[in-house]
A and B are shown apart, each in its own frame.
Chain A
Amino acid sequence: MSFLRQRKGKFPNPEHQNGDGDDDETTKKERESRERKQREQEEETRRRIRKRWSCVDGCCWFIGCICSTWWFLLFLYNAMPASFPQYVTEAITGPLPDPPGVKLRKEGLVAKHPVVFVPGIVTGGLELWEGHQCADGLFRKRLWGGTFGELYKRPLCWVEHMSLDNETGMDRSGIRVRPVSGLVAADYFAPGYFVWAVLIANLARIGYEEKTMYMAAYDWRLSFQNTEVRDQTLSRIKSNIELMVATNDGKKVVVIPHSMGVLYFLHFMKWVEAPAPMGGGGGSDWCAKHIKAVMNIGGPFLGVPKAVSGLFSIEGKDIAVARAFAPGVLDKDVFGLQTLQHMMRMTRTWDSTMSMMPKGGDTIWGGLDWSPDNCSTKKKNNGTSASGQKGTRNNGSAKGVNYGKMVSFGKDVAALHSSEIERIDFRGAVKGNSLANTSNCDVWTEYHEMGVGGVKAVADYKAYTAGEILDLLQFVAPKLMARGGAHFSYGIADNLDDPKYQHYKYWSNPLETKLPNAPDMEIYSMYGVGIPTERAYVYKLTTPATECYIPFQIDTSAEGGSEDTCLKGGVILADGDETVPVLSSGFMCAKAWRGKTRFNPSGIRTYVREYDHAPPATLLEGRGTQSGAHVDIMGNFALIEDVIRVAAGATGEELGGDQVYSDIFEWSERIDLQF
């Protein structure tokens, strides 16, 4: 700046001198010399200034500007009123509807029944209580949930601590990872990714608080009975429910289990009424005395096909247990080349994944040539819903793929009729002929014990139904199945009065237990529909790349035709909530428990509430208020409203009874089960 001013100021000088120049020579010379000197001086200062204005200065200025802008923005951000983002959203999308809590409070609803939340698999936080050297400084830090920061920082250590013992399914020596307790356990899964938070916030609006809400956090890696053996979790839940009933003037609790929590709570209801050493000794009327309603959200009553692919090859459109929640992990090479194997090793130590295996075998899930549900993922609204416009239903799926074959090798097998498939029994096939030197494989997947012969035998069988899947897994992962078989059962009971059904391994299977004797209780099945959900898989053999590998892989090249939309990337899709097919979440409430059946001897009333999926309209809406997806449904306003109404005292009739969009009733009729 000063440099410019200087130049401007001096410029007229020489011109003026030139104007009356030839008066005097001496003065002219003098003037000239002075001028020259002046010019030289000017030049020099100019040079000096230019030299001073160097690259370093530029950099400094640049950094300075950035810093002050940053600081200024930060300042603005902090000074911003808290309501500003909401204001912007409202300006763009129009005013948001009242959250259900506010709306219902205006209607005069107040907190009445205490509420118990039962989180599902993977949504509950786990923290470290004791660990090995590599986990120093992580005491009571969340290993699971939160930011998953440790997973990225020390992946192998993380896997080691998250795994359980291979043989017993309990803690490994020297490691204690325990569930986080309190409502914070599962309100947010990761920052910004709510699970229970929205529901809790809305319940708080009508007056719920800590003393009337309870999060039944449990270690979801263990088998259900083992949570009691190790942590006494079931006793804890029992005592807390009793306490809440006692401190709220004897008002019964409303239980809201989500996902696997549904099965966990089924187990709990049997456990609490069973006599002491194996059960909780609460007496045969405990449930009748303490529970008003069980509102199952997205319950995989009959298991999920995803669990099969998860166990078989750690794959699936989205890996049931891990990929959904830590998307970056599998894609990046955090574990080196053996990502999938590490994942498999870890998840296979978790007994609880076994609880989600498809139950009821071919009777429920269909045989080689039929299945109760059929391929039509197009949105359809049936007569039961008021807002139904009858869509064209794609009944002719005869030429399309069949759901009954849960795993098939090759796309053509998936579509063929059973008579045309040549199958060679794999049972009894000789294992061995070892693929690799097992000692080279530090990752334990049981596959390397199978050998080439075993792998080939599996592939030669071509197609597997739900019932045969169990045999298959028995074959490929005998240790895992042996452990799982001690804790879970997947059959259908012929005679429920058989004393063998008093064993705890049957308690989480609704087809092998009776509901408690509590005629006043209500059971709701609430789930989203309208999202394509994994139902069956097309597999292929992998070409061995390294010595240790997983020999089966979903055949992602298998695509259905343009008119047959059910087969995509090797996965055959059905209607559901992205994780649980409608058949699994709806069947029990729609048919098997409806009225007085042998599974429901006291005639507990059941209600099916479906929520049609509508994706968020704009990005600003986040995960949407009308979502039907497995986890996002916890933010669905209609569902929250239903929950709040029941918690405030309404019955299922007052909510409007069933609310059905899918063909669940029709499908249920096709299932041939004795009631």
Chain B
Amino acid sequence: MLSIMPLCWLEHLSLHNETGLDPPDIRVRAVPGLVAADYFAPGYFVWAVLIENLAKIGYEGKNMYMAAYDWRLSFQNTEIRDQALSRLKSKIELMYVTNGYKKVVVVPHSMGVLYFLHFMKWVESPPPMGGGGGPDWCAKHIKAVMNIGPAFLGVPKAVSNIFSAEGKDVAFVRAVAPGVLDSELLGLQTLEHIMRVSRTWDSVISLLPKGGDTIWGNLDWSPEEGNSCDLDKKANAQLSTGDVNFNHSDGTRGFRVKEPVKYGRIISFGKAASQIPSSRLPSPDLKELLRLRSSAGLSLSCGEVLTEYDEISRESIKRIAENKAYTAQNAFDLLRFVAPKLMQRAEAHFSHGIADNLDDPKYDHYKYWSNPLETKLPHAPEMEIYCLYGVGIPTERSYVYKQSPSDKCKSIPFRIDSSADGEPDSCLKSGVYFVDGDESVPVSSAGFMCAKGWKGRTRFNPAGISTYIREYRHKPPASLLEGRGVESGAHVDIMGNFAFIEDVMRVAAGATGSDIGGDRIHSDIVKMSQRINVQL
């Protein structure tokens, strides 16, 4: 069906642009049960391998539950429309009771990690907004949360996705329906159509980088500074010196990189702007732009494709490009400018800052619940939190943009400058700066909370829940016959990684984090975390 009627398909996937809920007369619902996510596209295993292995040690339908939710909605809206959170709560309670009062192990993946963070806050909050489970619900029902490829602090990819529906791989649509983007099925406006659809999905916003400049770096500084992009070479060095000895490789790396890459500039216009010192950059004045927008108010009415770009005049597009460089923080201003409706809607549901005072009553609002930097973990000292993710794959971190040459109506005016390449060894490849990660989530986003933000007793983790980092070094499949590999570290393929599956199974069978060997680190996450200066 996907290849026959792509337009129809798109219409059914897009939600209402204003409300973020269903368009009138169309209902698409999450498929429940274990069928929902395994084989969700043909040949694309997501959970199947894990489920099959769990079944070998006696798991079955009654003690496994797939918490399917409509991943296009904002988290709180899944409760409002489908009562998905209540459903999840009731299912966990039921499993807890029917399995002899044994606590559950939760295994969220990717955005599900944020969804479950939201759930843990929701379930303990009092009724109208929350689930009313009482302050000890998590302590009573949850043994461990094993986050896979967690995007705790967001992914830079989400920025480019919203900004121009691009990225080395468009996070949502492309992975599911690889044919759609490459073929010209939708006519010439493929990207615009994708953009129109994905912009109605509130949940994308939850993946925008959180914590602003403190976490992601500013114009001159970033935690990944001095990162080596020659991941293969690094891998070899590390394997020879042992897993623990990451300091050594860190030292050698400093020599290799001549000019520190300024990862902090998530979006820069032109390769030069991504490299020159900040003093030579023009200061961003988006406030003025916002004013300009309201005064311009020209509607080009360019057909039905609503990317919101057609409402922006060429002049302001030029102004955007003149600003040269944007950090994580003012990338938000940028997005607010180019996609006001989306951001306005989404910011009612998500927040991306860092809390100064977590006891401020405003943090009881649900929009903060999925941001680990603005919530406290539940009071459950016996619970365990794992961060399991792949490393060793170049992952998008920041982008070099250019203005799109086409003056055509309705086209997206910005494009990633794919001609911007660095020297052979550098991190810049066709307009994208890469760092270490699992192909979608950079290490700093996946690991920081477990490595530092929640480590020990911090203000984000008042109960002192123990956290464990388990990294899996990526190894591509040795032969074609292996399919997607049993040692992969890629964002989705990691679900077939044997070491990973073994860890999950051990914990499900009752092991604790220290039983399976505590932390297991290949990357520079500890070093990076130290550079991040967050009050704990």
Query: Which A residues are within 8 Å of any B CB, using their own CB?
Result: 78, 129-130, 139-140, 176, 178-184, 204, 209-211, 231-232, 235-236, 239-240, 242-243, 246-247
Task: Knowing A139-B55, A239-B94, A247-B83 are in contact, say whether A209-B62 is a contact too (CB < 8 A).
Answer: no
Task: Knowing A211-B82, A243-B86, A243-B87 are in contact, say whether A178-B98 is a contact too (CB < 8 A).
Answer: no
Residue in A closest to B93 when the chains form the complex, CB atoms: A239
Query: Which B residues are within 8 Å of any A CB, using their own CB?
Result: 4, 27, 29-35, 38, 51-52, 55-56, 58, 60-62, 82-83, 86-87, 90, 93-94, 97-98
> Shortest CB–CB separation between residue B5 and chain A, in angstroms?
9
Task: Knowing A140-B51, A210-B29, A211-B82 are in contact, say whether A179-B61 is a contact too (CB < 8 A).
Answer: yes
Q: How far is the CA of A57 from the CA of B211 in the complex (A)?
A: 73
**Are B30 and A129 in contact, with the CB atoms below 8 A?**
no
Contact of B35 among A78, A184, A209 (CB under 8 A): A184
> Shortest CB–CB separation between residue B66 and chain A, in angstroms?
10
**Are B97 and A235 in contact, with the CB atoms below 8 A?**
yes
**Are A211 and B87 in contact, with the CB atoms below 8 A?**
yes
**Are A130 and B56 in contact, with the CB atoms below 8 A?**
yes
> Shortest CB–CB separation between residue B380 and chain A, in angstroms?
23
Task: Knowing A129-B60, A140-B51, A239-B90 are in contact, say whether A210-B98 is a contact too (CB < 8 A).
Answer: no
Contact of B33 among A176, A181, A242, A247 (CB under 8 A): A181
> Shortest CB–CB separation between residue B509 and chain A, in angstroms?
16
Q: How far is the CA of A232 from the CA of B96 in the complex (A)?
A: 12
Interface CB pairs A-B, < 8 A, 20: A129-B55, A130-B56, A139-B52, A140-B34, A140-B55, A178-B62, A180-B33, A181-B32, A182-B31, A182-B33, A183-B32, A204-B27, A209-B27, A210-B82, A232-B62, A235-B94, A236-B98, A239-B90, A240-B90, A247-B86
**Are A247 and B87 in contact, with the CB atoms below 8 A?**
yes
Residue in B closest to A182 when the chains form the complex, CB atoms: B33
Chain A hits for B97, CB < 8 A: 235
Task: Knowing A210-B30, A243-B90 are in contact, say whether A178-B60 is a contact too (CB < 8 A).
Answer: yes
**Are B61 and A181 in contact, with the CB atoms below 8 A?**
yes
Residue in A closest to B1 when the chains form the complex, CB atoms: A82
Chain B hits for A140, CB < 8 A: 34, 38, 51-52, 55
Chain A hits for B87, CB < 8 A: 211, 243, 247
**Are B55 and A130 in contact, with the CB atoms below 8 A?**
yes
Q: How far is the CA of A178 from the CA of B63 in the complex (A)?
A: 12
Q: How far is the CA of A373 from the CA of B61 in the complex (A)?
A: 45
Q: Which of A178, A180, A243 has the most CB of B within 10 A?
A: A243
> Shortest CB–CB separation between residue A559 and chain B, in angstroms?
49
With A180-B33, A211-B83, A243-B87 known, 5 other A-B pairs at CB within 8 A are A139-B55, A179-B61, A210-B32, A232-B62, A239-B94
Q: How far is the CA of A239 from the CA of B65 in the complex (A)?
A: 14
Q: How far is the CA of A236 from the CA of B61 in the complex (A)?
A: 11
The A interface is mostly helix, strand or loop, or mixed, namely: helix
**Are B4 and A78 in contact, with the CB atoms below 8 A?**
yes
Q: How far is the CA of A183 from the CA of B33 in the complex (A)?
A: 9
> Shortest CB–CB separation between residue B466 and chain A, in angstroms?
31
Q: How far is the CA of A209 from the CA of B82 in the complex (A)?
A: 9
Q: How far is the CA of A129 from the CA of B56 in the complex (A)?
A: 8
Q: How far is the CA of A337 from the CA of B206 in the complex (A)?
A: 63
> Shortest CB–CB separation between residue B183 and chain A, in angstroms?
16
**Are B35 and A182 in contact, with the CB atoms below 8 A?**
yes
Chain B hits for A210, CB < 8 A: 29-30, 32, 82
> Shortest CB–CB separation between residue B506 and chain A, in angstroms?
20
Chain A hits for B94, CB < 8 A: 235-236, 239
Chain B hits for A180, CB < 8 A: 33
Q: Which of B27, B29, B58, B94 has the most CB of A within 10 A?
A: B94
Q: How far is the CA of A32 from the CA of B440 in the complex (A)?
A: 88
Residue in B closest to A233 when the chains form the complex, CB atoms: B62
**Are B61 and A235 in contact, with the CB atoms below 8 A?**
no
Q: How far is the CA of A184 from the CA of B32 in the complex (A)?
A: 9
> Shortest CB–CB separation between residue B53 and chain A, in angstroms?
10
Q: How far is the CA of A243 from the CA of B35 in the complex (A)?
A: 21
Q: How far is the CA of A231 from the CA of B30 in the complex (A)?
A: 25
Chain A hits for B32, CB < 8 A: 181-183, 210
Chain B hits for A243, CB < 8 A: 86-87, 90
Chain A hits for B82, CB < 8 A: 210-211
Q: How far is the CA of A130 from the CA of B90 in the complex (A)?
A: 27
> Shortest CB–CB separation between residue A299 and chain B, in angstroms?
27
> Shortest CB–CB separation between residue A186 and chain B, in angstroms?
13
Task: Knowing A129-B60, A232-B62, A235-B94 are in contact, say whether A181-B34 is a contact too (CB < 8 A).
Answer: yes
> Shortest CB–CB separation between residue B54 and chain A, in angstroms?
10
Q: Which of A178, A182, A235 has the most CB of B within 10 A?
A: A182
Q: How far is the CA of A139 from the CA of B58 in the complex (A)?
A: 13
Chain B hits for A231, CB < 8 A: 61-62
Q: How far is the CA of A183 from the CA of B30 in the complex (A)?
A: 12
Chain B hits for A211, CB < 8 A: 82-83, 87
Chain B hits for A209, CB < 8 A: 27, 29
Chain B hits for A176, CB < 8 A: 60
Residue in B closest to A228 when the chains form the complex, CB atoms: B98
Q: How far is the CA of A176 from the CA of B97 in the complex (A)?
A: 22
> Shortest CB–CB separation between residue A358 and chain B, in angstroms?
33
Residue in B closest to A183 when the chains form the complex, CB atoms: B32
**Are A246 and B35 in contact, with the CB atoms below 8 A?**
no
> Shortest CB–CB separation between residue A210 and chain B, in angstroms?
5
Q: How far is the CA of A642 from the CA of B464 in the complex (A)?
A: 58
Residue in B closest to A184 when the chains form the complex, CB atoms: B35
> Shortest CB–CB separation between residue B378 and chain A, in angstroms?
22
Q: How far is the CA of A187 from the CA of B33 in the complex (A)?
A: 15
**Are B29 and A129 in contact, with the CB atoms below 8 A?**
no
Q: How far is the CA of A626 from the CA of B60 in the complex (A)?
A: 40
Q: How far is the CA of A415 from the CA of B29 in the complex (A)?
A: 59
Contact of A236 among B27, B29, B38, B62 (CB under 8 A): B62
> Shortest CB–CB separation between residue A74 and chain B, in angstroms?
13
Q: How far is the CA of A210 from the CA of B86 in the complex (A)?
A: 14
Residue in B closest to A179 when the chains form the complex, CB atoms: B61
> Shortest CB–CB separation between residue A110 and chain B, in angstroms?
13
> Shortest CB–CB separation between residue B116 and chain A, in angstroms?
19
Chain B hits for A78, CB < 8 A: 4
Q: How far is the CA of A236 from the CA of B95 in the complex (A)?
A: 9
Chain A hits for B90, CB < 8 A: 239-240, 242-243
Chain B hits for A130, CB < 8 A: 55-56, 58, 60
Q: 3 closest pairs, A vs B, by CB?
A: A182-B33, A232-B98, A247-B83
Q: How far is the CA of A184 from the CA of B60 in the complex (A)?
A: 17
Q: How far is the CA of A211 from the CA of B82 in the complex (A)?
A: 6
Q: Which of A78, A210, A231 has the most CB of B within 10 A?
A: A210
Q: How far is the CA of A130 from the CA of B52 in the complex (A)?
A: 9
Q: How far is the CA of A183 from the CA of B87 in the complex (A)?
A: 16
**Are A178 and B86 in contact, with the CB atoms below 8 A?**
no
> Shortest CB–CB separation between residue B158 and chain A, in angstroms?
28
Chain A hits for B52, CB < 8 A: 139-140
Residue in B closest to A248 when the chains form the complex, CB atoms: B83
Q: How far is the CA of A246 from the CA of B90 in the complex (A)?
A: 10
Q: How far is the CA of A242 from the CA of B89 in the complex (A)?
A: 13
Residue in A closest to B48 when the chains form the complex, CB atoms: A140
Chain A hits for B51, CB < 8 A: 140
> Shortest CB–CB separation between residue A356 and chain B, in angstroms?
26
Chain A hits for B34, CB < 8 A: 140, 181
Q: How far is the CA of A243 from the CA of B86 in the complex (A)?
A: 8
Q: How far is the CA of A129 from the CA of B60 in the complex (A)?
A: 7
**Are A178 and B29 in contact, with the CB atoms below 8 A?**
no
Q: How far is the CA of A282 from the CA of B87 in the complex (A)?
A: 20
Q: How far is the CA of A242 from the CA of B87 in the complex (A)?
A: 11
Q: How far is the CA of A176 from the CA of B29 in the complex (A)?
A: 30
Residue in A closest to B39 when the chains form the complex, CB atoms: A140
> Shortest CB–CB separation between residue A161 and chain B, in angstroms?
15
Q: How far is the CA of A182 from the CA of B27 in the complex (A)?
A: 18
Chain A hits for B62, CB < 8 A: 178, 231-232, 236
Q: How far is the CA of A42 from the CA of B169 in the complex (A)?
A: 68
Chain B hits for A236, CB < 8 A: 62, 94, 98
**Are A178 and B61 in contact, with the CB atoms below 8 A?**
yes
Chain A hits for B93, CB < 8 A: 239
